Amino acid sequence: MTISIWRYSHLTLAISSALFIIIASVTGVILAFEPISDQLKPYEVVDISTLSISETIATLQKQYDEIIDIAVDENNFVSTSVITKEGKSETFYINPKTGLKIGEIIQKEPIFEFATNLHRSLFLKSTGRFLIGFVSFLLFLIGVTGVILIAKRQGGIRKFFSTIVKENGNQYYHIIIGRYALIPIIIITLTGVYLSLEKFSLLPKDTNYHQKTAQKAVTKNLKVTDFIIFETINLNELKKIEFPFSTDKEDYFFVKLRNKELAIHQYNGTIVSEKKIGFVTLGSYYSLLLHTGKGSILWSIILVLACFAILFFVFSGFSMTSNRRKKTVAIKNKTHETAAEYIILVGSETGSTFRFANAFKNALINAEKTVFLAALNSYKTYKNAKNIIIFTATYGDGDAPANANKFIKLIDTVQQHHLLKYTVVGFGSKEYPAFCKFAILVHASLQIHPKFIPELPLLKIDNQDINVFKKWVNEFENLTHCSLEIEEAELSESSKKEVEFNVLEKTNINKDDTFLISLQPKNKLKFVSGDVIAITPKNEHRSRLYSIAKMDKNILLSVKKHEFGVCSNYLEQLQKGDFVNGTIQQNHHFHFPKKVKEVILIANGTGIAPFLGMIQESKKTKIHLFWGGKTKHSFEVYHKFIVKALENKKLTSFTIGYSQEHKVKMYVQNLVEDKPELIIKTLQNEGCILICGSLKMQKGVEEAIDKIVKEKLNSSIEILKEKGLIKTDCY
C-alpha cells in the first residue's frame, strides 16, 4: 500500500478525533499530577515489605479499642478504620510500625475531580464515557498508522530508529518524538479502551469464586497475632483486611491480596476459603495503574510527557497538512492531451516538483509551444506529442511518489502511436541513500522501450536546486532551439509571502558600480545567509534574485548595477528609510554546513555577500576566504567586514587577488591554484568548499580544484560534488 493511504488514514483518524484527543490530553496532563502530588505526601514512613500483618495488628490493638479494617494503597500508604479508646469511629493513615495516626485520608482536590470527570466522560455520563473509550481506540489506531508511516518513510521497520533527514522542523520532531512516545501512547490508549470496556461490562466475566479449603481439625483457639497466615503475609502484598463483624465463628477475616482473596477463621487462623483473582480483574487493576500513574512518580512523569507529545502531534500534524495543501498545485491545461506537442508528466508527493514543472510549462507556452501537464499516473496515449518531459521526486527508500506509483507498469500497457523523445529530471535529496532512485528507474524503463528516444541524459537535482534546474533549461533550449524564459519567482514556494523591508543603509556606488544595501524586515522573518531574496521592482513582473547575508536580524545585499538592469537600478535609487518588497526563498543547498570543522569560501565580486553573513554567524568553524575583484577599490565596500572578522578571529585566513590592479592578472582560480595544501588539508579534515559568484569564475575554480584533488587525493571535482563537499551558487 502506498504511503499516501497510510497518511490519509492517519490524518482522517486524527481529524475525526482531534478535539477529544486535545481534551483528553490536557486533562491527562492535569491528572498525571495527582499521583505525583499524592506520592509526595509523607505517609510512606516505613518499608512495608518488612512488616507482617501480625505485627501491624499487634501495634493497632495496643492503640485502639477495635480494628475494623486495614488497607494498603498504591502509594504504599497504610490506613486503618478503628474505634478509638474514646469510642469514636475514625479512619486515617498510620505508621504501621507504631500504629500511631500520621495523617488524614487524602481528599481529591476539586481540580482533579473536575479533570477526572471531563477526562472520563466529558460530563456526558454514559455517552461521554463511550466517546472517550472510542477516541482512545482511534488514538491507538493513529499510533499504529504512525508507526507504519515512519517505517515506510525510513524504508522498512528495521530502519525505524535510524537517522531521520531533517526536511522540515514539524515533520522531523513529529517523527523523532513519535518514536519515543509511541510505547507510552499505545499503553495509555489500550488501557483506556480496557477500562471503558470494563465500565460497559463488555469484558468476559471472571468466573472464579471462593472455594472451600480442606479444613484441618480445629484444635485450639489462637490469638489473632499468632495466626501463621498473618505472620507470613507482609503488608506490601496486602490490599485490605476486613475484621470479623461479630464473634460468631461463621464470621471471618476477609483478606484481599494482590492476586487472591482469603476468608480466615477468626479463632484459629485457618484458611476457610480462597478465591483466585481472574485475569480480567487483574487486567483492570494494572490498566488502572498504567493509565493513571498511581503508585509511580516516574510513570506519572512519562504520562505527562506522553500527553504533551500527543498535543504536539495534533498541532504539528495539522500544520504539516496545511503546508502540504498550500503546496499542492491544481493542474490547469489550455491544450488537450491529444493536441499537445510537449507532454510534461510529474511525480510529486508534496507538490514542490509541480512548481518546477509549471514554470517549465509556462516557459514553453511563452515560446508558443503546445503543452499538456499531468501526473505520471495519468500517463496515456498522446496522439500529437513529440516530446515527453518527466519531472519526478523520489520517496520512501527510493520509491515512487503517490501520484507516480503506477507509471512503470503503464509504460508497457499504454501504447504510443509514434516515436517520442523523452527527458527525465529527478528531484531528490542526497541525504537519502537512494538519491533520485525512482527517476533513475523511470529513465531506465524508457530507455529500453522501443518507442522512446532519450533527448538529454537523466538529470538529478539535489534539494530543489534552482541553479541546476536553470542550467538544464539552458541545455534544453540549445537542443530544441526554442528560447525558454523561466520565471524564477515561480520556482519558489507559493506559500512564501511578500514581505516589506525598510532600507536601513545604502553605500555609495563604487567604481565597479557595486553598492551594499541593508534591509530590515518589517515583520519577524526566518532566513539564513545563503538564502535568496526575490525583489520585484514596482510596476514590474519579473523578479531578480540576490544572495543574502544575514547580519544580526537584517539582510545585507551586495548589488552590481547594470546599465539596463531594472532591479539593480531600482535598488540603487532607494534611499535610507524607503520601503521595498521581497520574497525570501530558502536555498538549502547553499547554507553554511553544520558540524564541519573547516570551510573554504570562494567568491568573486558581489558573490562575497552571503559569505559575509556566514562568517559573522559562524561559531567554531575555521573559515578561509578567497576573494577576487577588479582593483583595490573594488574591495573597499567589504573592507570593514573583513577586518572585523579577522580581528575577532571569525575568519582564519583571507586571500585576495585583483584582475586589473597589476600587470599580471590575478583571478580567484589562481589564488586557489597557489594554495593546494589548504584545499587538501581542508578536504582531508572533512571540510567543505562553497563557491559564489560568476559562472566563469566557478568554472575556473572548479578546474583548479579538480587538478589539485586529482593529483593529491586521487579524486575529482565530480566526486567531491557527489559527496556534497562542494556547494555552489553562481549566476
Ligand X SMILES: Cc1cc2nc3c(=O)[nH]c(=O)nc-3n(C[C@H](O)[C@H](O)[C@H](O)COP(=O)(O)O)c2cc1C
Residue 156 C-alpha cell reads as: 522498512
The reply on whether position 256 binds ligand X by CB under 6 A is no
Spatial distance between the Cα atoms of 437 and 13, rounded to a whole number of angstroms:
32
Who contacts 356 (Cβ-Cβ below 8 Å, separation ≥6)? Answer: 391, 425, 427, 464, 469, 491
Joined together, the cell numbers standing for residue 479 give: 537542443
Decide if residue 428 touches ligand X (CB under 6 A): yes
Q: Phi and psi at residue 610, in whole multiples of 5°?
A: -60, -30
Residue 599, Cα to own-chain centre: how many angstroms?
A: 28
Rounded (to 5) percent helix, strand, coil in the chain: 45, 20, 35
Q: Is residue 584 within a helix (H) or strand (E), and if so which, with residue range?
A: strand 579-585
Beta-ladder partners of 424 = 390
Of residues 96 and 398, the one with the C-beta less far from ligand X: 398
How many residues does this entry show for the chain? 731
Cβ of 329: how many Cβ atoms within 10 Å? 17
Q: Would you say 366 or 429 has its CB closer to ligand X?
A: 429
Return the number of the residue (632 or 723) whose C-beta is nearest ligand X: 723
Residue closest to ligand X (Cβ): 428
Residue 436 binds to ligand X (criterion: CB under 6 A): yes
Helix (H) or strand (E) holding 727: strand 726-730
* Candidate ranges 370-378, 391-399, 634-642, 710-718; the one touching ligand X (CB under 6 A): 391-399
353 binds ligand X (CB under 6 A): yes
Position 435 contacts ligand X (CB under 6 A):
yes
Select the residue interacting with ligand X from 252, 360, 427, 658 (CB under 6 A).
Answer: 427
Q: Which is nearer to ligand X, 431 or 513 (CB)?
A: 431
Classify strands 371-375 and 342-347 as parallel, antiparallel or unpaired: parallel
**Near ligand X in 141-200, by CB under 6 A:** 153, 167
- Tell the smallest beta-carbon distance from residue 79 to ligand X (Å): 55
Whose Cβ is closer to ligand X: residue 39's or residue 392's? Answer: 392
Q: Which residue in 440, 385, 393, 438 sits closest to 414, CA to CA? A: 385
Q: Which stretch binds ligand X (CB under 6 A): 334-342, 433-441, 681-689, 723-731?
A: 433-441
- In the block, residue with C-alpha cell 495496643: 62
Angle between helix 110-121 and 125-154 (nearest 10): 70
Query: Which of 34, 55, 349, 488 touches ligand X (CB under 6 A)?
Result: 349
CA distances from 467 to 462, 464, 477 (A): 11, 9, 15
Which is closer to ligand X, CB of 37 or CB of 328?
Answer: 328
* Minimum distance of ligand X from residue 444's CB (angstroms): 15
Cα separation, 558 vs 115, whole angstroms: 59
282-307: b (≥16 Cβ within 10 Å) or e: ebbeebbbbbbbbbbbebbebbbbbb
Q: 398 Cβ partners below 8 Å, 6+ apart?
A: 155, 432, 433, 434, 437, 438
Q: Which stretch binds ligand X (CB under 6 A): 82-90, 351-359, 446-454, 660-668?
A: 351-359
Using the contact rule CB under 6 A, the part of the chain among 368-376, 388-396, 470-478, 543-551 near ligand X is: 388-396
Binds ligand X (CB under 6 A): choice among 178, 192, 351, 693: 351
Return the number of the residue (405 or 621) whose C-beta is nearest ligand X: 405
Q: x/- binding map, residues 462-481, to ligand X, per CB under 6 A? A: --x-----------------
Near ligand X by CB under 6 A, which window of 91-99, 262-270, 432-440, 507-515?
Answer: 432-440
Give the residue, chosen from 66, 251, 337, 397, that forms a contact with ligand X under the rule CB under 6 A: 397
* CA neighbor of 425 nearest in space, from 466, 469, 381, 395: 469
Task: Kindly tell me which residue out of 401, 530, 582, 613 binds ligand X, with binding defined by CB under 6 A.
Answer: 401
Contact residue for ligand X among 393, 400, 557, 608 (CB under 6 A)? 393
Asked whether 403 and 376 are in contact (CB, 8 A), the reply is yes
99 is a contact residue toward ligand X (CB under 6 A): no
Kindly indicate which of the ranges 115-123, 346-354, 591-599, 717-725 contains the residues binding ligand X, using the contact rule CB under 6 A.
346-354
Residue 310 near residue 25 (C-beta atoms within 8 A): yes
| In the block, residue with C-alpha cell 533549461 | 473
With vertex at residue 430, the alpha carbon angle to CA 424 and CA 433, rounded to the nearest 5 degrees, is 100
Question: For ligand X, which is the closer residue by CB, 143 or 398?
Answer: 398
Residue 490 interacts with ligand X (CB under 6 A)?
no
In the complex with ligand X, the residue whose CB is nearer, 167 or 231, is 167
CB of 285 to ligand X, least distance (A): 42
**Residues contacting residue 709 through CB under 8 Å, at least 6 positions apart:** 679, 680, 683, 715, 716, 717, 719, 720
CA dist., res. 108 & res. 257, Å (int): 25
Q: Establish if 459 lies at the interface with ligand X (CB under 6 A).
A: no
Interface segment toward ligand X; rule CB under 6 A; list 69-77, 301-309, 430-438, 468-476:
430-438
Q: State the nearest-atom distance from the C-beta of 727 to ligand X, in Å.
A: 17
The CA angle 397-402-408, to the nearest 5 degrees, is 80
Is there binding between residue 360 and ligand X (CB under 6 A)? no
Closer CB to ligand X, residue 184 or residue 396?
396
Least distance to ligand X, CB of residue 157, Å: 15
6, 395, 476, 611: which one binds ligand X (CB under 6 A):
395
Which of 115-123, 380-388, 425-433, 506-514 is the region at the interface with ligand X (rule: CB under 6 A)?
A: 425-433
Residue in 75, 196, 348, 529 binding ligand X, rule: CB under 6 A: 348
Q: Any contact of residue 398 with ligand X (CB under 6 A)?
A: yes
Looking at beta carbons only, is 313 or 395 nearer to ligand X? 395
How many residues interact with ligand X (rule CB under 6 A)?
Answer: 24
Q: Does 352 bind ligand X (CB under 6 A)?
A: yes
Q: Is 317 in the site for ligand X (CB under 6 A)?
A: no
Name which of 565, 552, 575, 664 is nearest 606 in CA terms: 565
- Of 17, 270, 394, 518, the residue at the interface with ligand X (CB under 6 A) is 394
Part of the chain binding ligand X (CB under 6 A), chosen from 40-48, 240-248, 371-379, 427-435: 427-435
The verdict on 316 binding ligand X (CB under 6 A) reads no
Tell me the closest approach of the beta carbon of residue 356 to ligand X, in angstroms: 8
Q: How many CA atoms lie within 13 A of 254 on its CB side?
A: 10
Cα separation, 207 vs 278, in Å, equals: 7
The contact set with ligand X (CB under 6 A) reads 153, 167, 348-353, 393-398, 401, 427-429, 432, 434-437, 464
